[in-house]
Amino acid sequence: MQVMELIEINCPVCSSDKCTIMYPDSLGANPPLFGYKWVPDVRKMYRVVRCKSCGHVYCSPRLKDMYKYYTDVSDDVYLANERQRVKTSELVIPIIQRFCPSGKLLDVGCSTGDFVHTAAKHFNAEGLELSQWASQIARNKGVNLHTKSLSEMNEKDGLYDVVTMWGVIEHLENPKDEILHVNRLLRQNGVLCFWTGNVDSLFSKILRQRWPYMLGQHIQFFSKKSLDRLMRDCGFERAYMGIYPYTISFDYFADILNRYFIIGNITRFFVNLLALKERDFVIKKPDEMFAIYRKTMDHRPT
């Protein structure tokens, strides 16, 4: 029987060991639930702390080698939203092209390959994904795919013009190490693009533990300040900060709001009444960040 070991973590951004507790642990020495299907237990989390030095918010203690507990199973909820992800990609790509019109692109954590497949119309696009289930679906779409970690990417240094990480950085155990690997893979003046939550947003402060990003599978919670600090230390400077133009169906939107009971029930009533289930709309949530950083100097992982 495998013993699950909890370990204390210094700040992943500045390495300080001084922090204050924001929210208590509700997981214990157990792995969190992974996936997109909503059940109440996905909110069970490791203790959430804020670094006293740089302000970064992260989970500590948490499981050692947490990635080993990620399950490689099918996710029907994720598959059901493919149309919306493609539409979102079509909105995001023109923004990226303001900073890099063309070239070689790597999407880290590409899942079933919807973004890579869409980006291939404009870039020489590749994906990186560890899930065998997601990788097979991506390959069936014709996506050029790497099934290995960033640290295992032995491709030529400076090979890529663009690296994207959509909803990825909040999962990373050692984000600085991963960004340094990206620095190595990017050419000088290449760009790194993120989509993640903003822990210092008004929504996060109001909703606290009920903020949608507060899930057991998320262990890093960035603000603009802490993301800037991490990226500066890894050889990048900010080129753009906006809000991700996420395309969502009214049906899925109602499902998300069901987590908030009365609001969810009212939304579901009107979605059904007005026959909006299959309609899509673009939502720009002010508690999220769409950030683009440009590589300014070489840094290597130690």
| Helices 250-257/262-273 angle, 10° precision | 160
- Record the tokens describing residue 128, joined without a space: 């990186």
Answer with the residue of higher pLDDT: 241 or 283.
241
Q: Is the pLDDT of residue 264 over 70?
A: no
In the chain the domains, ranked by start, together with CATH numbers, are: 1-245+284-302 (3.40.50.150), 248-280 (no CATH)
Instruction: Provide the β-strand partners of residue 294.
Output: 191, 237
pLDDT at site 1: 45
Instruction: Provide the β-strand partners of residue 292.
Output: 193, 240
Q: Is the pLDDT of residue 267 over 70?
A: no
pLDDT at site 2: 56
pLDDT at site 43: 87
- Record the tokens describing residue 202, joined without a space: 């008004």
E strands along 205-287, which residues?
220-221, 236-242, 246-249, 280-283
| Helices 175-185/224-233 angle, 10° precision | 50
Q: Is the pLDDT of residue 39 over 80?
A: no
Rounded to an integer, the average pLDDT of 148-163 is: 90
pLDDT at site 255: 65
Instruction: Provide the β-strand partners of residue 128.
Output: 108, 146
Overall pTM > 0.85: yes
Residues 75, 39: Cα–Cα separation, whole Å: 14
Rounded to an integer, the average pLDDT of 8-15 is: 97
CA atoms within 13 A on the CB side of 231: 23
Rounded to an integer, the average pLDDT of 247-271 is: 66
User: Average pLDDT, whole number, for the chain?
Assistant: 89
Peptide bond into 24 cis (omega under 30): no
Distance of CA 174 to the CA centre of its chain: 14
Cβ partners under 8 Å of residue 74, min gap 6: 133
Long-range CB contacts (within 8 A, 24+) of 260-268: 260/210
Four-CA torsion 146, 148, 154, 155, nearest 10 degrees: 20
Residues 73, 88: Cα–Cα separation, whole Å: 24
pLDDT at site 108: 97
Sign of CA dihedral 87, 134, 255, 210: negative
Residues 107, 161: Cα–Cα separation, whole Å: 11
Q: What is the pLDDT of residues 183-222, one digit of tens each?
A: 999 999 999 999 999 999 999 999 999 998 999 999 999 9
Answer with the residue of higher pLDDT: 28 or 23.
23
